[in-house]
Amino acid sequence: MRAREDARQDGKAAKVRLNAVLLRQDIRYEGRATWGPAPRRWLAAVVCPTPAQPIVFQEYVRAVSEHTERRPRREAELQTQVQTWRWAPVVEAMQALRGVQFTVAVTVIAELGALSRFDHPRQLLSYLGLVPSEHPSGERRRQGAIPKTGNAPARRALIEGAWAYRSPAKVSRPLQLRLEKVPTAIQDLSGKAQVRLCTRSRRVVARGKNVTQVVGASARELAAFVGASARTVTGARLG
């Protein structure tokens, strides 16, 4: 999982370097800022003004291609490895939650391991760095941003999944296919999570809260539902 994340970060850095090479020569892509077939065709037609520049340019294009190909290879291998992993049932149960797709579920379990080692959900949230910071002054208690301590990959994965709850509650076709593979208790938990998080997210946004704050709050609750999913499958106690 970490190797996949390394490939993603390396690919992102390679694209930044390639863009920098082009911008130094004032060569700009006028289409959409994506790395699909159209930009690749455009890159193949780029003509650099001096003999040395094409060498550098092609090296950076090759680096982008290599890192782009590494990521799906590692994702495919990950799918194979998880099938025989002892945490495979927990990964499958977690995917019943909206926003928690395969990579998010595997990242969380690979980083956290047995969730039963946390005696209470607050300990899990603290380990993830999702508990708001506090600034007490006398009898007053003011909460601030999350401290971003603890396990960064798992926290980042949960925040990524929490963005899905900004939209109204619904069961998409991919989510329905994942729900069909899990017990009724997990399906009920998924529905409860959707109703609670989607409703709360819209209500807090309507009060004028910053979107990132809303997503952070949703990630905290999503982490609690993740723990509940693991407890339902393994029978381990969490809180």
Task: Pick left, alpha or beta for residue 149 (phi over 0 → left; psi -120 to 50 → alpha; otherwise beta).
Answer: beta
pLDDT digits (tens, 9 = 90+) for 97-119: 999 999 999 999 999 988 878 87
- Cβ atoms within 10 Å of 109's Cβ, excluding its own: 22
- Res. 142 pLDDT band, cuts 50 70 90: low
Token pair recorded at residue 135: 């600034």
Token pair recorded at residue 68: 């782009």
Give the DSSP letter string of 194-234: HHHHHHHHHHHHHTT--HHHHHHHHHHHHHHHHHHHHHHHH
- The pLDDT, as a whole number, for residue 78 is 92
Is the pTM higher than 0.85? The answer reads: no
pLDDT digits (tens, 9 = 90+) for 34-74: 778 888 888 888 888 888 888 999 999 999 999 888 989 99
The more confidently predicted of residues 20 and 146 is 20
Mean pLDDT, range 118-139, rounded to an integer: 77
